[in-house]
Chains A and B, each alone.
Chain A
Amino acid sequence: MKVAISVTKAGEGAGLEMRFGRCPYFTVYNSETKEYEWFENAGIKAASGAGTGAAQALLDRGVEVVVSGQYGPKAAQVLGAANIKMLLGSPDLPVAEVIAKWQANELKEYAIQKF
């Protein structure tokens, strides 16, 4: 299973970034191979639709679970429609700890806000 985390930077020392659509990087952890893939979030430079763009990028990579600090209404709509599990983590939590908490089922699920 692939888990995406919005992160503050790529690689060593990266922690959880609170913003989903406007985070600088994403990492995708593959629980079968135990490998991390890191990539820049194109949404950080987008004039609009950062959340929908980021959600689409994760869907295209076959992600099934996302961990972030907060989800915008449009990003949540896209992820929700794709049945992606949206989880919440605390700011700057190191990536390895985010994964450990996910595996221990300790992360709270994001409730979609109705606007």
Chain B
Amino acid sequence: MIIAIASGKGGTGKTTIATNLALVAPASQYLDCDVEEPNGHLFLKPDISEKRDVTMPIPKIDEELCTYCGECAAACEFNALAVIGKKVMVFSELCHGCGACTFICPEKAISETTKVIGYLEIGKAKAIETDELDFVHGISNIGNPLSPPIIKKVKKLVKDDCFAILDAPPGTSCPMVQTLMGCDYCLFVTEPTPFGLNDLVLAVGVAHQLKIPCGILINRSDSGDDQIQEYCRREAIPILMEIPFDRDLAFAYSKGEAAVIHSQSLREGFQKLHQRIVAEVEK
């Protein structure tokens, strides 16, 4: 079972929810897909046992064979190649690794070499009721503009028999879509503010488009207004949990500690959340 924890608006509590859920759910696996800014490790404190580079194919020009016809530059959707007289410039930071240039070159002068764009770290974290939980996160190298290939590699490590929790990046652009694709369920974490609602509506639109069933968790539910509840009623989207503002929870967060370790009521709350998600998926 693969569950994405997403939000639309950033800073609503995706990682708080994803890590706490991972700590209480049986046979869970936590995968941080927010590869531009992964922070789940701060709360789960995993022992990392393995590190793997993530690479992307980029073109390499054989100047012996190249006739500088310019077909590669013309074929490139991302303008990553420029042919200047008797020189081919490759802008690897623009390349999406699609292979069109290699395919189109009439002289077979283009081969593919790899470029490291980030890495994965794999390990185990201590869970609460069960002994261990699987931990994976992807990290994009500084300056790398393309995170979806790293997210894809993180998702390849999802274990079939696990309750896999994907901590999604915020927003509704490619990295978030890449994370949601193929999931069984998506839990949107939101806050009761106009900004929270605005971005939630956009994010729910993505889930509908991908035909992924979704539910809502309202964080800091006693602040703001009740527009989220009204929206969920109108759209018939279930609200799976509401967490009121709690100073102790914020304090634990600020120290990098998971809330379920300290609070018995939150632990039970997250256990219930896990059961509700499973019930929603099996519906």
Question: Known: A81-B84, A81-B87. Is A49-B70 also a contact (CB below 8 A)?
Answer: no
Q: Which of B50-86 contact A (CB under 8 A)?
A: 70, 73, 76, 78-85
We find that the number of chain B residues with CB closer than 8 angstroms to chain A is 16
User: With an 8 A cutoff between CB atoms, is B94 at the interface?
Assistant: yes
Whole-angstrom distance between the Cβ of A18 and the nearest chain B Cβ: 20
User: With an 8 A cutoff between CB atoms, is B201 at the interface?
Assistant: no
Select from chain B the residue with minimum beta-carbon distance to A77: B89
Select from chain A the residue with minimum beta-carbon distance to B83: A56
Question: Known: A52-B94, A60-B70. Is A78-B78 also a contact (CB below 8 A)?
Answer: no
Say which residue of A47, A55, A59 sits within 8 Å of B78 (CB atoms). Answer: A47
We find that the number of chain A residues with CB closer than 8 angstroms to chain B is 18
Whole-angstrom distance between the Cβ of B94 and the nearest chain A Cβ: 5
Point out which of B80, B84, B94, B145 has the most chain A C-beta atoms below 10 A from its C-beta: B84
User: With an 8 A cutoff between CB atoms, is A112 at the interface?
Assistant: no
Whole-angstrom distance between the Cβ of B177 and the nearest chain A Cβ: 15
User: With an 8 A cutoff between CB atoms, is A43 at the interface?
Assistant: yes
| Cα distance, A3 to B82, chains bound together (Å) | 20
User: With an 8 A cutoff between CB atoms, is A46 at the interface?
Assistant: yes
User: With an 8 A cutoff between CB atoms, is B91 at the interface?
Assistant: yes
Which A residues lie at the B interface, using CB under 8 A? 43, 46-53, 55-56, 59-60, 74, 77-78, 81-82
